[in-house]
Structure 1
């Protein structure tokens, strides 16, 4: 990953569109201002498919469009969204995409790829997001004055879905890598991709 590539930037823009489309699918919860959406799945996919640099750019494009007022985050946009109750989650997404991509680029590809991707995506695409997300939620909503209330409103109900998203991402990305390895986007070998035979044999 030495130089910027037009291919990588194009894919970043395309994945920004995917994130916007997935964010429109949401389910509101009666006990929380945080809706269930597929935005985190899009962040996981961006990092896993595009790598650290271009996955992060894809997420930043969406945040930038939201800041400009476009309704790209679950049908909402504007600076009010970026300082609202869910802002702590939103600003953790670029970090998540970067770390997922960083590990994806260095991951050996083999029969345990699905499990490794699931672990990386759940850790960095889900668990990493909650400290800042819940902390800002508590800051924004004074009624969340106890830890159980905060965790119920901002974390615990979402974990099973996050695990399923991570599993879905791992399955999809493993299939994608077989025909379109991440190195075709980020460039170089990243120390992991050794060709089709290595994919089938290397653990």
Structure 2
């Protein structure tokens, strides 16, 4: 495994800042305690641009700052956020960033790059997050005593927006990779990727 690089660590810190900034853009919904924010977009971007290790680190930095009391989660911070109704989503983000990054590191860049990034980001950055997010939300709010209520409050209204975020991320990252390939951050690709690239 490649050693941690100063460049990667700097980018992790920068993307943590991006995630904090995007969290301030939120829309509260009258029927749910879960707001619409752009933090999930930041998680997708971190994994896609920085790869598995550094993307995950960026998310963990934000969670650590939140635990320390800094208002980095849509203007809120402290342990109350990390045990509150939305904690299930928050603790799924590092896994989402890791799997998005793991997938991105193994993608060949070609005419299907956008579609592959879209799929990885929607699958891991959205759908993966909901099982723990909805389960903890239902546990935290007694009135969400049926599956349909929990899904309505914590998942279904957010899916169209998540798909748009995944598409936006895929579009941005496809362009970024043309001028700043992911291997410049994570190091050399695996032999499997090199062989795949050579065979294109």
Do both proteins adopt the same fold according to a TM-score greater than 0.5, normalized to the shorter chain?
A: yes
Q: Secondary structure at the match of 1:89?
A: helix
Question: Which consecutive unaligned segments of at least 5 residues does structure 2 have?
Answer: none
Paired residue secondary structure (1:32): coil
Which residue does the alignment assign to 2:170? 170
Is 2:47 the counterpart of 1:47?
yes
Contact 1:70 1:76 in 2 (8 A): yes
Q: Is the 8 A contact 1:181 1:193 kept in 2?
A: no
Identify the residue that residue 108 of structure 1 maps to in structure 2: 108
For 2:180, the equivalent position in structure 1 comes to 180
Q: Does 1:130 align with 2:134?
A: no
The equivalent residue for 1:81 is: 81
Helix, strand or coil for the counterpart of 1:174? Answer: helix
Please report how far the alpha carbon of residue 193 of structure 1 lies from its aligned counterpart in structure 2 after TM superposition: 6.5
Does residue 93 (structure 1) correspond to residue 93 (structure 2)? The answer is: yes
Matches of 1:101 and 1:193, distance apart in 2: 17
Structure-2-length-normalised TM-score:
0.96
TM-score by length of 1: 0.95
SS in 2 for 1:114: helix
In 2, are the aligned partners of 1:183 and 1:190 still within 8 Å (CA)?
A: no
Aligned length: 198
- Write out per-residue CA displacement over residues 29-72 of structure 1, whole angstroms, 9 at most, x where no aligned residue: 00000000000000000000000000000000000000000000
Q: Is there any run of 5+ residues in structure 1 with no aligned partner, and where?
A: none
Aligned to 1:61: 61
Are the equivalent residues in 1 in contact too, given 2:13–2:61 (CA < 8 A)? yes
1:152 aligns with 2:152: yes
Q: Which runs of 4+ in 1 moved over 2 A?
A: 189-194
Separation of aligned partners in 2, 1:11 and 1:36: 25
Q: Give secondary structure in 2 for the equivalent of 1:178.
A: helix
Structure 1 vs Structure 2 CA RMSD: 1.5
